[in-house]
Amino acid sequence: MVTVNLARARARLSELLDKVEEGQEVVITRRGRAVAHLSPAARRPQKPLPLRELAGFRAAMPRLRRPVAELLREIRNEGL
């Protein structure tokens, strides 16, 4: 964990953010007391898309009788 005073944090914010991106935590102090704690944003691990399941879902959807663009225009014009 890195601890810096407010003046140094202002002068070197980019460097501190680089450290946070690398996984370090930064504490910013004012007059010797901690006032802020910077930590990396929590990232949820991304799961790969289940492409086979999505393809099956799409194949099961009913076909439209007319183009989607035509339907969208109709919906938009009804709102006027």
Pairing of strands 26-30, 33-38: antiparallel
Report the half-sphere exposure of 39 (CA within 13 A, side-chain side).
4
Instruction: Write down the pTM of the prediction.
Output: 0.52
* Count of domains forming the chain: 1
Tokens (6 digits) for 62 = 């009913």
Averaged over 7-17, what is the pLDDT? 96
Q: Is residue 63 part of a domain?
A: no
Question: What is the tens place of the pLDDT at every residue in 49-65?
Answer: 899 899 999 999 988 88
The domain of 25 spans 2-38
Q: How far apart are CA 74 and CA 68, in angstroms?
A: 10
pLDDT band at 48 (very low <50, low <70, confident <90, very high): confident
Q: How far apart are CA 20 and CA 39, in angstroms?
A: 6
Q: Is residue 33 part of a domain?
A: yes
- CATH number of the domain that residue 8 is part of: 3.40.1620.10
- Give the pLDDT of residue 13: 96
pLDDT band at 43 (very low <50, low <70, confident <90, very high): confident
